[in-house]
Structures are given as C-alpha cells and as structure tokens.
Amino acid sequence: MASNDRSLYDEDGQSSDWIEIFNPDPTSVDISGWFLTNDPSELDRWELPTGVVLPSGGSLIVFASNKDRDVGELHANFKLSKEPGGYLALVEGDGQTVANGYIDYPEQFDDISYGLAQTGSGSDVTIIPENSISRILVPTSDIGTTWRDRLFDDSSWPSGNTGIGYDYGNLIGSNGDVRSETEDTNATVYVRIPFTIDSPESLTSLTLRMKYDDGFAAYINGTLVASAGAPASPQWNSVATADNPDSAAVIFEDFNIPIGPNLLGKGGNILAIQGLNRSTGSSDLLVLPQLDATTAATNPGLGEAGYFQSSTPATSNGTNQGL
C-alpha cells in the first residue's frame, strides 16, 4: 500500500504506507536478517529483526514509514512511491538474492493495494469472547504503567466478566458493574483479560472488536495496539477526548492489529484496556472487547500481480483484482 489514507493505522495513529510479506511455501520460513528495499542499488537497505518466522500461509506487516523500528511494530527506514516506475523487493540474508520484487510497478492509488493474488484461506477463531473473566481496578492514585504488562500481579484486583461499566443492561457482565467506584470519582477503569496462544507463529491476523463508551486504549503484553477517544498519554484519571454515542457504543468497532515478531508469547498473554468515560458524571460506561484471529492457510498459493480495491492487511488478498 503505497498511498495509505485510512486502510491501516500504525501505533502512532498515522496512516503510514505498509508492506505485507506472505509465505506461500508448505513449511515455515525464517526471514530473520532478510532485507526490504525500495532501491535496486541498495538491496540491504532495511534489515528484518531476529525472530521473524512466517508459518506456511502466514503474513507480516511492515510499515514503510521511514521511522526505522525493529522492536514491536515494525517500521522500515523508507517510504513507498505512488508514482509509476517504483521499486520494492524482499532480499535474502546475503543482501544480494531477491526473493521477490516489483520492478517498475505501476501508479498507485489512495487506499487501493497492489500485490499478488492469493489462494487458500485460514480459519477464523475467537481468542477472547464476550463475557470473558477479567480483573478490574478503578484507580484511586497513580500506579504507573506496569499494569499493562503481561507479568503484572493483578491478584488483588476484583474479578468480573466483561463487559465492564454500568447502565448497559445485559452487556455488563457478572460483577462488572463499576458505577459505585467511578461515578463522580474517576472516569478511568483498568481491565486485564488473560488469554492463551499455543502457537503465535500460526496466527496471520488479529482483530480487536470493541463496544465502548466513551473511549479506550488497549495494550497486548504492554504494547499499545488500538485506541479511540483516548489522550496520547493516558493518565490514571484521564477522561475520554470525545463522546461515543450510545447507538454506536453497542455495535462492535473493529481495529486491525499488526502482528509484530514480539507482540505475542507462547502460552499466557494479557489484553489490558484503559476504559475512559467522558466525565465522572456520565450516565453510562462500557468496555466490552472481543479478540479475533485468523490462522495460516492450509493450502496457500500465489497468483498474478494486480490492484485490490479492498485492502486486506495481514489477511488473504484473495483473487478479486482490478480498479
């Protein structure tokens, strides 16, 4: 995606260009130490970090943002050109062998991706369903940011089932009503939801689905993965920066999560959410997440290069091409 307007946002909330690397082989491929480049005279321009293994049918998103980050969300040290005659290549670890490349690719258009058609499909799974067990805290003072981390000890926090909040009827889970703790006291509530991943390398996409009133910031194992109506650096007593109307709050809003090489761990993981109300006097509050994933395709394959009007970062391109 060389001209990204709103197809995918990075961790800074910016619509950076992005590259999807896909493995069509029947076995996993370790691409640690391989390179991405937009310059045929500099094939080793940006190096992929250690630990990047793509399962069969798996994919990886790298933002072409010129931000140069190789920890967490991946960002190359270049941007993509939307003009005709552009160049993009994936280069093996020797810095010379082009594994796949686009030489003189055609003009690119806003929010229309360009790439190879893909055959085969993975399985959709729900990792965190609605009504999941969680730990809840309405903070009364600043406890720092370690509560977002996987290894944080939340055993002293009350437990309850999602959704968390009040005045949303059956969307509020068992022991999830926090009206007495938040109303006229604090517009913030912390929620921690554990989940287990047996094979992180088998996941090709993650989608956080949120019903929320009025805002939130969500973290997986301490890494910010999605937010809406949240300040840039939420504090223990922050309020939402905007209202989310009741009619919208009860409908899932989807947030695509790029899966970096260090985002998920094998075994136990944590989704930590800071729920935000517009004010301490608000009449209602809701934090209700669902975390969905797609597993690698069992019969992946590649077709011809072309445009895709509906971009599908970290999921199969399919075969429906054309402008």
Contact 206, 291 (CB under 8 A): yes
Average pLDDT, the chain: 92
Do residue 83 and residue 206 come from a single domain?
no
Q: Is residue 8 part of a domain?
A: no
Contact 291, 102 (CB under 8 A): no
- Residue 133 φ/ψ region, left for φ over 0, alpha for ψ in the -120 to 50 degree band, beta for the rest: beta
Distance in angstroms (rounded) separating the CA atoms of residues 61 and 4: 13
Q: Is residue 151 part of a domain?
A: yes
Do residue 196 and residue 180 come from a single domain?
yes
DSSP assignment of 230-245 equals --SS--TT---SS---
CATH code of 24's domain: 2.60.40
Do residue 257 and residue 288 come from a single domain?
yes
Residue 171 token pair = 């969307």
Do residue 192 and residue 99 come from a single domain?
no
Q: What's the number of domains the chain is made of?
A: 2
Q: Is residue 22 part of a domain?
A: yes
Do residue 168 and residue 257 come from a single domain?
yes
Q: Tell me how far apart the terminal alpha carbons of the chain are, to the nearest angstrom.
A: 14
- Interval 35-55 mean pLDDT: 95
- Interval 174-183 mean pLDDT: 96
Q: How many residues does the chain have?
A: 323
Q: Is residue 215 part of a domain?
A: yes
pLDDT tens for each residue of 115-162: 988 776 677 899 999 999 999 999 999 999 999 999 999 999 999 999
Do residue 219 and residue 101 come from a single domain?
no
- Interval 89-98 mean pLDDT: 96
The answer on pLDDT for 86 being more than 80 is yes
Q: Which of 7-21, 156-170, 271-285 has the least mean pLDDT?
A: 7-21
The per-residue pLDDT for 301 is 74
Q: Is residue 7 part of a domain?
A: no
Distance in angstroms (rounded) separating the CA atoms of residues 176 and 190: 12
Q: Is residue 253 part of a domain?
A: yes
Distance in angstroms (rounded) separating the CA atoms of residues 268 and 139: 25
- Interval 236-264 mean pLDDT: 93
Q: Half-sphere exposure (CA, 13 Å, Cβ side) for 175?
A: 12
Q: Half-sphere exposure (CA, 13 Å, Cβ side) for 216?
A: 29
Q: How many helices (DSSP H) and strands (DSSP E) are in the chain?
A: 2, 21
Do residue 103 and residue 196 come from a single domain?
no
Do residue 153 and residue 107 come from a single domain?
no
Do residue 141 and residue 232 come from a single domain?
yes
Q: Which of 49-58, 84-93, 140-149 has the least mean pLDDT?
A: 49-58
Handedness of CA 23, 24, 28, 32 (dihedral sign): negative
The per-residue pLDDT for 219 is 98
Do residue 192 and residue 276 come from a single domain?
yes
Do residue 21 and residue 148 come from a single domain?
no
The residue type at 142? D
Q: Which structural domain, as residue segments, surrounds residue 260?
A: 124-295
The answer on pLDDT for 244 being more than 80 is yes
Reported confidence tier of residue 320, pLDDT bands at 50, 70, 90: low
Contact 89, 102 (CB under 8 A): yes
Q: What is the DSSP letter of 149?
A: S
Do residue 33 and residue 134 come from a single domain?
no
What pairs with residue 285 in β-bridges?
166
Of 6, 110, 21, 18, nearest to 58 by C-alpha is 21
* Phi, psi torsion values for 121, nearest 5 degrees: -150, 150
Q: Is residue 87 part of a domain?
A: yes
